[in-house]
Chains A and B, each alone.
Chain A
Amino acid sequence: KNEVEQSPQNLTAQEGEFITINCSYSVGISALHWLQQHPGGGIVSLFMLSSGKKKHGRLIATINIQEKHSSLHITASHPRDSAVYICAGQETSGSRLTFGEGTQLTVNP
């Protein structure tokens, strides 16, 4: 069992739909990172959070420390949101990230 697990692995949506990607972790972490990897391969950090909720534009990330669970939501999805979304747990004692396997999101027009 991986220390960080994501679901679903693949997600197809229609433009405008509300999207949720889930991330569960089995070890203690100091922070949870959400990353976006574009079809061209570039990786962008979306959020880093250790409690509560963060919002940036149409993206919202939440974390429940007690349940060891985080979610990434996309409101009013758009084809340009199509990418791989990766969650990663940061170890409590340092900077090491342990990555989930990623969620391939495809938003159709």
Chain B
Amino acid sequence: DAGVIQSPRHEVTEMGQEVTLRCKPISGHNSLFWYRQTMMRGLELLIYFNNNVPIDDSGMPEDRFSAKMPNASFSTLKIQPSEPRDSAVYFCASSLWIERVREQYFGPGTRLTVT
């Protein structure tokens, strides 16, 4: 298996632009997580889905952030409009939920720089 795939790996954009980050989870996994990592705040959960349904989006910082999972093999995290404080590494992870979540498999991350 190729593991969790994220694209792009690096994104540099100007303040005010729309940014879309993409994630393909491991085939067969039914839980998907979006995380953000910064020096100041460390790793934070933004949102997670079970069976394509958003379960907990309490970590989404504000309305500028939105996430979708139209099917089991694809998810997007969109920031519109972007701001310099959104600069961070965004990780996607997937897992298999049966009775409870198993270990999470992380993608390589997308390093976002907003100037």
Contact = CB atoms under 8 A, between A and B. Distances in A.
A30 B44 contact: no
Contacts of B44: 99
Nearest to A34: B103
A43 B91 contact: yes
Could you tell me the dominant secondary structure of chain B's interface residues? Answer: strand
A104 to B, nearest CB: 12
A48 B103 contact: yes
Interface in A72-100: 86, 88, 90, 94-100
Given A96-B48, A97-B45, A45 B56 contact: no
A94 B54 CA distance: 12
For chain A, what secondary structure do more than half of its interface residues adopt (helix, strand, loop), or is it mixed? strand
B50 interface: yes
B103 A45 contact: yes
Question: For the side of the interface on A, what is the size category?
Answer: 20 to 34
Contact of B108 (A41, A45, A96): A41
Contacts, number: 52
A88 to B, nearest CB: 8
Contacts of A42: 106, 108-109
A101 interface: yes
B75 to A, nearest CB: 15
Contact of B103 (A33, A41, A100): A33
B98 to A, nearest CB: 12
Interface of A: 30-31, 33, 35, 41-45, 48, 86, 88, 90, 94-102
